[in-house]
């Protein structure tokens, strides 16, 4: 009997290799010397991200497969990888503003952050459901630890345990869904599953239940309603750079395989499935925006805001068209810049390991005492609310346009109404910064170079993507998936 050796194609995982090697160095370096500075560790982490980005550029347009087809490196996966790398870079820069007591070991912090990024890349670089599961667990386990990395803070330990327990519960749904889908179709590959559905039809309790459980698993990571309840507590208790990283990276990691399922594995031709996702998107946008109005803690407000933005992204997924896919990519990148930028300002004000100044009222008079931080926060708030000429406005325009062209007019109307609602709580921050007098003196030390650069870079990116979005959008249009 002839033996055919498996096709490895090691170049298909160059970005992951670069990040794993860098993470290993970061985790092991403090064992050999206790005097290594956090700035040096940050430089090593940034070098690893740069190497991964270089690998993405090399792999662009090559459409490689590796490991017997379980790894797929197409432009769709690489575009999402760029978003994850940008989010990790900004999170590293944000962390440089924290005092040394904030994290007991910066090597652990940066190493786990890079390993979490590896999990995100694994999830988008495959059509195999089992590899998606491995990526999901790599991402999740690192985030569980990062959430509770401040071991002396009882609130961080509490939310880390809550996140772990709920995440394990959602993982069980996801894994059981994989088993049911495999039992119904005889395959773990989304392409083969799609072909089976086109040939035999989307029917049978096992297949329907399996797909439902897969959607539940992704919904938990993306914080879709009704699987969003963990989000505000975890964002509030987690270190600010970790909350910032989770808000963009984990969301994108859940959205990307969901797009693959919609386009390749489960073409949305059944009105029942469209109705389910339609309702989930509408509820996610509405619950996120309405509950955010009542929040006085700015991290909880941004947590509910992230839930609402997950609903906007789901609108683009539901559109199911080429325009919808490229709109999701564009909006996710804009969201990464504006949301991590907003968390950067929070990190700047909550400078100590007690994270003071987290109430919206603490921002009163900020525009006069700290003009650069206030200007950056104002730009991010305008962009999150979708006010032109920011990238947030253009991103929402692209997503709503794709949904209208696909015939989801009422869903777009709900989205626009929710965008109007969100203006209230976003502009409340701006009003407090520029139109309210401070009731107490807020003293903040000088921002680090890394944090200042992150805020400036994010602010310029948000403005440029709002003024000249066409080049980047055309790049993402070259990254769409083709229907099987």
**CB under 8 Å to 288, separation ≥6 — which residues?**
225, 228, 304, 305, 306, 307, 308, 309, 310, 311, 418
- For residue 35, the number of C-alpha atoms closer than 13 Å in the C-beta half-sphere is 0
Please give the model's pTM, rounded to 2 decimal places. 0.91
Indicate the SS3 state at residue 73: strand
What pLDDT does 23 receive?
A: 93
**pLDDT at residue 99, as a whole number:** 45
Rounded Cα–Cα distance for residues 12 and 257 (Å): 18
Q: What is the pLDDT of residue 482?
A: 56
pLDDT score at 275: 80
Query: Could you give the CA distance from residue 151 to residue 12 in angstroms, rounded to a whole number?
Result: 37
Query: What is the per-residue pLDDT for 101?
Result: 44
Q: Distance between CA 284 and CA 296 in Å, rounded?
A: 20
pLDDT in tens, 260-300: 877 765 655 555 677 888 899 999 999 999 999 998 888 89
Q: Which residues of 366-375 are buried (b: 16+ CB within 10 A; e: fewer)?
A: bbeebeebbb
> In what helix (H) or strand (E) does residue 161 lie, and over which residues does it extend?
helix 154-185
Residues of the chain falling short of pLDDT 70: 1-7, 33-35, 98-105, 202, 264-272, 351-357, 439-447, 481-484
- 123: nearest Cα among 256, 21, 215: 256
The answer to whether 435 and 355 have CB atoms below 8 angstroms apart is no
């Amino acid at each position: 009997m002839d033996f055919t050796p498996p096709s490895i194609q090691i170049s298909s995982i160059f970005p992951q290799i670069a990040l794993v090697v860098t993470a290993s160095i970061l985790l092991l370096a403090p064992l050999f010397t206790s005097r290594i500075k956090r700035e040096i560790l940050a430089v090593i982490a940034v070098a690893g991200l740069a190497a991964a980005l270089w690998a993405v550029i090399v792999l662009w347009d090559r459409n490689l497969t590796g490991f017997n087809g379980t790894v797929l490196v197409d432009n769709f996966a690489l575009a999402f990888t760029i978003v994850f790398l940008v989010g990790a870079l900004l999170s590293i820069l944000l962390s440089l503003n924290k005092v040394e007591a904030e994290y007991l070991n910066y090597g652990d912090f940066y190493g786990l952050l890079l390993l979490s990024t590896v999990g995100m890349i694994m999830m988008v670089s495959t059509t195999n459901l089992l590899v998606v599961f491995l990526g999901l667990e790599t991402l999740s386990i690192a985030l569980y630890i990062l959430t509770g990395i401040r071991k002396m803070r009882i609130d961080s330990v509490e939310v880390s345990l809550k996140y772990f327990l709920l995440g394990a519960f959602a993982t069980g749904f996801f894994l059981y869904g994989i088993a049911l889908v495999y039992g119904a179709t005889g395959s773990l590959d989304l392409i083969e599953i799609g072909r089976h559905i086109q040939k035999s039809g989307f029917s049978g309790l096992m297949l329907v239940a399996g797909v439902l459980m897969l959607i539940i698993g992704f919904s938990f990571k993306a914080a879709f309603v009704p699987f969003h309840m963990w989000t505000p507590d975890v964002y509030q208790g987690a270190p600010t750079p970790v909350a910032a990283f989770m808000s963009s990276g984990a969301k994108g990691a859940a959205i990307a395989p969901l797009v693959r399922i919609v386009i390749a594995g489960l073409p949305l031709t059944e009105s029942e499935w469209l109705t389910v996702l339609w309702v989930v998107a509408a509820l996610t946008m509405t619950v996120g925006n309405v509950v955010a109005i009542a929040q006085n803690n700015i991290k909880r407000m941004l947590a509910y805001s992230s839930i609402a933005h997950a609903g906007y992204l789901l609108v683009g997924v539901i559109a199911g068209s080429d325009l919808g896919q490229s709109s999701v990519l564009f909006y996710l990148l804009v969201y990464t810049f504006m949301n991590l930028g907003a968390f950067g300002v929070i990190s700047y004000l909550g400078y100590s390991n007690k994270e003071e100044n987290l109430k919206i009222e603490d921002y009163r008079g900020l525009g006069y005492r700290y003009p650069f931080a206030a200007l950056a926060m104002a730009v991010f708030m305008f962009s999150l609310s979708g006010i032109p000429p920011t990238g947030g406005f253009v991103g929402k325009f692209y997503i709503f346009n794709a949904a209208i062209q696909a015939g989801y007019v009422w869903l777009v109307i709900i989205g626009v109404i929710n965008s109007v609602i969100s203006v209230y709580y976003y502009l409340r921050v701006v009003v407090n910064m520029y139109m309210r007098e401070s009731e107490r003196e807020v003293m903040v030390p000088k921002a680090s170079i890394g944090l200042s650069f992150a805020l400036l870079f994010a602010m310029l990116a948000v403005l440029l993507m709002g003024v000249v979005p066409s080049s980047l959008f055309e790049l993402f249009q070259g990254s769409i998936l083709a229907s099987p």
